[in-house]
């Protein structure tokens, strides 16, 4: 990886932080900023105006007469509201799934009464035929639990192959490139903003899950985990309170990269016209309008600068993390 | 070894099948839902029918269209009819959409496109005649350029630092940005008008001789291939460069230097083969990634390939084409896995001995 000198490192780090803070600030204040035109209101009298040509449109307008500056501001809001939650949710999901897969492997054992209760509950929830059978199964689970409690014997257990389930799902999702998968599902199911957020989360979690799992495989062999086991803590507590916080370490570097790749994916989707509805302002959609108007350099330059600066700042942030830590 | 390869291929094939089934079920669930919303219940149809004939005609045509698409059948083996018996599952037997789709797929029939009525296999194979040369050239060029550049970088010239920084920055940029920048700079009447910007029609219409046609073909593919290479190059180069520098610190490299070999010869004859193994894994990722990249590049440059077919199908909700595209991408992944295994076999004699 590229190593700059220490002086320029701190300088570029500061610039990256300032730029990202600016983007988030603008995104947060998009609703109250004194913009003369909203991106949803086209100014049909001024179509494809160059920047500074008219006093109202500082950065010009696109072929539909929308103000470039306000599209940039609201596009920042779309980007922040979509990529940050998606990155956070996928990191959370990946940490839980990958952490569980790494800690227990395929050897987690769930007592049989819980199996019976879960089966009965699922039966009831799915409304499979003969609903009384679900009640019978669940009641059987309770009876077995009570009997085992009364006779002071440990529950009989069955294994849950957590590792196989998590890694199998992750491998399945990784088989097809994310862009193709998201395009196919987004077209098939027809998504809103919230649906797209869920879709991005669903396709982004395998990467953090792999990272956390790999770290967890190392952590679970360390003495402090053994000490926690020896102190008699339940396995869930050892996992959640002791092992998991240490296994989250790689996510600190991976989070900015994940946000950057999600930002790239979101703008690519908007550029292709898949996913977000057309009235939502987005940098990618603004970039796609330049193809109708090849002479309009301002339609390419300003959103491209926003996108490139944001992505490079995120890269810089992820590279600086180990130094700052 | 053979079992390992077989197991991995089987798992990937299973994953592709699961994904395609999931997308099929998702899309067709939506389809039958839309059909149910569009057509009212059969009970109140006769009363309203005589009063409003145009509406019934419209409904009849809608139903005929849906019938042609196969929406009359239940979707899956199991279904839950919402009206008749709430809360009861119903076993549909083999007369369902999923079963028919799967059987047709096993016979090599991907169905017909909703939009054009053409068979999906014909559409895909037509599109592949453009996309395969595009992505194949891009993949070959990217790998060759990465090998060339990484060898030079590992020797440690004075320009290594800025080039590494530039590659790391380039790696993060979305492909469509690179493609758009190329389009606006080099195929724009306002800037430099060196390359044709849009489409492919003029190139194929003319009855020019063979070489002229090849030249126009190459001219049309130059910018898309460049965009794909630019985005695929950094990851390959940086990975290979890191591996090479790691290998050059090993003992055998020092020995080779001590016996008087030049740095370039050490890299070429000693370190390269050891460093190339992780890159071979990346080649397995490269082919499916280039198919995804083709979606963007073909939309930007308006080339009638598989990518623009998929994008148009996504915009028009043409599910059979989309599912076909997913299956094709999965096949590319399978082929890439096989290719990577063959390359491993070539690069590392230890793997050959273990067989």
B39-50 pLDDT tens trace: 434 434 444 444
* Percent of chain B topping pLDDT 70: 77
Range in A40-44, A186-190, B165-169 with the lowest mean pLDDT: A186-190
Q: In this structure, are residues A148 and A80 in contact, taking their beta carbons and an 8 Å threshold?
A: no
- Predicted confidence (pLDDT) per residue in B292-312, tens digit: 788 888 888 888 888 888 888
Domain contains B6: no
Tell me what the pLDDT averaged over chain B comes to.
78
Same domain? B160 vs B203: yes
Please determine, for residue A65, whether its predicted confidence score (pLDDT) is greater than 80: no
Same domain? B213 vs B326: yes
Q: Establish if A323 touches chain B: CB-CB under 8 angstroms.
A: no
Across the interface, of B87, B177, B326, the residue whose CB is closest to A180 is B326
Q: In this structure, are residues A265 and A179 in contact, taking their beta carbons and an 8 Å threshold?
A: yes
What DSSP assignment string belongs to A139-178?
HHHHHHHHHHHHTT-PPPEEEE-HHHHHHHHHHHHHHS-H
What is the mean predicted confidence (pLDDT) over B141-170?
Answer: 87
Q: What is the CATH number of the domain that holds B220?
A: 1.10.3720.10
* Percent of chain A topping pLDDT 70: 90
Range in A37-51, B27-41, B93-107 with the lowest mean pLDDT: B27-41
Q: How many domains does chain B have?
A: 3
Instruction: Write out residues 116-155 of A within 8 Å (CB-CB) of B.
Output: 126-129, 131
The residue of B314, B320, B321, B325 whose CB has the most chain A CBs within 10 angstroms, and thus the best one to mutate to test that interface, is B314
Give dist(CA A159, CA A172) in Å, integer: 23
Question: Residue B330 and residue A176: Cβ atoms within 8 Å?
Answer: yes
Same domain? B256 vs B137: yes
pLDDT of residue B47: 44
Same domain? B211 vs B228: yes
Same domain? B265 vs B179: yes
Domain contains B278: yes
Same domain? B86 vs B198: no
Q: In this structure, are residues A172 and A166 in contact, taking their beta carbons and an 8 Å threshold?
A: no
What is the mean predicted confidence (pLDDT) over B92-108?
Answer: 79
Question: Residue B300 and residue A291: Cβ atoms within 8 Å?
Answer: yes
Please determine, for residue B213, whether its predicted confidence score (pLDDT) is greater than 70: yes
Domain range for residue B147?
120-347
Across the interface, of B15, B174, B295, the residue whose CB is closest to A171 is B15
Please determine, for residue A323, whether its predicted confidence score (pLDDT) is greater than 60: no
Q: Establish if A303 touches chain B: CB-CB under 8 angstroms.
A: no
Domain contains B28: no
What DSSP assignment string belongs to A28-94?
HTTTTS--SS-TTS--TTS-SPPTTSSSS-TT-B-TT--BHHHHHHHHHHHHHHHHHHHHHHHHHHH
Same domain? B83 vs B154: no
Give dist(CA A182, CA B295) in Å, integer: 12
For A110, A116, A153, B151, B207, the CA distances from A149, given in Å and listed in that order, are 16, 16, 7, 68, 88
Same domain? B217 vs B330: yes
Domain contains B21: no
Range in A30-34, A41-45, B242-246 with the lowest mean pLDDT: A41-45
Please determine, for residue A40, whether its predicted confidence score (pLDDT) is greater than 90: no
**A49 vs A139 pLDDT, higher one:** A139
Question: Residue A181 and residue B326: Cβ atoms within 8 Å?
Answer: yes
Same domain? B278 vs B326: yes
Question: Residue B19 and residue A172: Cβ atoms within 8 Å?
Answer: yes
pLDDT of residue B84: 53
Domain contains B171: yes
B320 neighbourhood in chain A, CB within 8 Å: none
Domain contains B29: no
For A10, A211, B240, B245, the CA distances from A319, given in Å and listed in that order, are 12, 17, 20, 20
pLDDT of residue B54: 59
Same domain? B163 vs B100: no
Please determine, for residue B107, whether its predicted confidence score (pLDDT) is greater than 90: no
- Predicted confidence (pLDDT) per residue in A207-263, tens digit: 999 999 999 999 989 999 999 999 999 888 899 999 999 988 888 888 888 999 999
* Percent of chain B topping pLDDT 90: 5
Across the interface, of B88, B189, B292, the residue whose CB is closest to A179 is B292
The residue of A177, A297, A309 whose CB has the most chain B CBs within 10 angstroms, and thus the best one to mutate to test that interface, is A177
CA of A81, closest CA in chain B: separation in Å?
19
Same domain? B102 vs B157: no
**A110 vs A6 pLDDT, higher one:** A110
Q: Establish if B303 touches chain A: CB-CB under 8 angstroms.
A: no
Q: Establish if A192 touches chain B: CB-CB under 8 angstroms.
A: no
**B217 vs A80 pLDDT, higher one:** A80
For A189, A319, B63, the CA distances from B31, given in Å and listed in that order, are 9, 46, 12
Q: In this structure, are residues A111 and A157 in contact, taking their beta carbons and an 8 Å threshold?
A: yes
Same domain? B171 vs B147: yes
Please determine, for residue A33, whether its predicted confidence score (pLDDT) is greater than 90: no
pLDDT band at B222 (very low <50, low <70, confident <90, very high): confident
């Amino acid at each position: 990886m590229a190593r700059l000198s220490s002086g320029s490192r701190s300088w570029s780090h500061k610039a990256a932080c300032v730029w990202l803070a600016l983007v988030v600030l603008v995104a947060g204040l998009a609703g109250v900023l004194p913009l003369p035109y909203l991106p949803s209101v086209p100014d049909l009298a001024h179509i494809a105006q160059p920047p500074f040509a008219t006093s109202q449109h500082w950065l010009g307008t696109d072929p539909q007469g929308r103000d470039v500056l306000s599209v940039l501001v609201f596009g920042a809001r779309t980007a922040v509201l979509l990529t940050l939650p998606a990155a956070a949710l996928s990191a959370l999901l990946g940490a839980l799934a990958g952490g569980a897969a790494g800690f227990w492997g395929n050897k987690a054992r769930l007592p049989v009464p819980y199996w019976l209760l879960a089966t009965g509950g699922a039966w009831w929830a799915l409304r499979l035929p003969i609903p009384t059978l679900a009640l019978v199964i669940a009641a059987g689970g309770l009876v077995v639990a009570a009997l085992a409690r009364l006779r002071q014997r440990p529950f009989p257990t069955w294994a849950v192959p957590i590792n196989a389930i998590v890694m199998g799902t992750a491998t399945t999702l990784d088989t097809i490139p994310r862009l193709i998968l998201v395009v196919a599902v987004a077209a098939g199911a027809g998504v809103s903003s919230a649906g797209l957020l869920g879709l991005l989360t669903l396709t982004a979690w395998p990467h953090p899950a792999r990272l956390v799992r790999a770290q967890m495989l190392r952590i679970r062999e360390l003495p402090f985990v053994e000490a926690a086991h020896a102190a008699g803590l339940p396995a869930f507590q050892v996992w959640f309170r002791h092992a998991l916080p240490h296994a989250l370490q790689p996510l600190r570097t991976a989070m900015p990269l994940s946000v950057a790749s999600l930002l790239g994916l979101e703008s690519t989707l908007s550029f292709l016209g898949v996913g977000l509805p057309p009235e939502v302002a987005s940098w990618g959609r603004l970039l796609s309008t330049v193809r109708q108007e090849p002479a309009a350099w301002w339609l390419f330059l300003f959103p491209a600068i926003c996108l490139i600066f944001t992505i490079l700042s995120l890269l810089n942030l992820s590279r600086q993390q180990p130094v700052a830590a | 070894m053979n079992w390992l390869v077989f197991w991995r291929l089987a798992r990937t094939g299973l994953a592709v099948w699961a994904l395609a089934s999931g997308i099929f079920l998702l899309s067709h669930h939506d389809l039958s839902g839309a059909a149910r919303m569009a057509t009212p219940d059969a009970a109140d149809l006769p009363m309203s029918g005589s009063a409003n004939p145009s509406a019934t005609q419209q409904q009849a045509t809608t139903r005929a269209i849906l019938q042609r698409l196969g929406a009359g059948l239940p979707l899956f083996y199991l279904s839950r009819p919402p009206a008749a018996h709430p809360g009861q599952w119903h076993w549909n037997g083999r007369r369902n959409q999923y079963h028919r789709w799967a059987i047709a797929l096993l016979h090599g029939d991907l169905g017909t496109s909703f939009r054009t009525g053409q068979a999906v296999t014909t559409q895909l194979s037509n599109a592949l005649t453009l996309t395969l040369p595009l992505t194949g050239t891009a993949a070959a060029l990217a790998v060759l350029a990465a090998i060339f550049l990484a060898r030079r970088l590992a020797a440690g010239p004075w320009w290594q630092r800025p080039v590494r920084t530039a590659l790391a920055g380039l790696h993060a940029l979305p492909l469509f940005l690179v493609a758009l920048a190329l389009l606006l700079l080099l195929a724009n009447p306002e800037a430099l008008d060196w390359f044709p910007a849009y489409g492919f029609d003029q190139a194929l219409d003319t009855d020019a001789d063979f070489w002229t046609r090849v030249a126009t073909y190459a001219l049309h593919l130059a910018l898309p291939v460049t965009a794909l290479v630019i985005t695929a190059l950094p990851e390959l180069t940086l990975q290979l460069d890191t591996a090479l520098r790691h290998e050059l610190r090993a003992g055998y490299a020092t020995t080779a230097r001590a016996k008087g070999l030049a740095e370039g010869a050490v890299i070429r004859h000693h370190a390269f083969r050891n460093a190339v193994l992780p890159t071979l894994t990346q080649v397995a990722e490269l082919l499916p990634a280039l198919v995804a990249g083709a979606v963007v590049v073909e939309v930007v440059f308006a080339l009638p390939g598989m990518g623009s077919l998929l994008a148009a199908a996504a915009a028009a909700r043409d599910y059979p084409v989309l599912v076909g595209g997913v299956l094709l991408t999965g096949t590319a992944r399978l082929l890439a896995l096989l290719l990577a295994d063959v390359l491993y076999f070539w690069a590392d004699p230890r793997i050959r001995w273990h067989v």
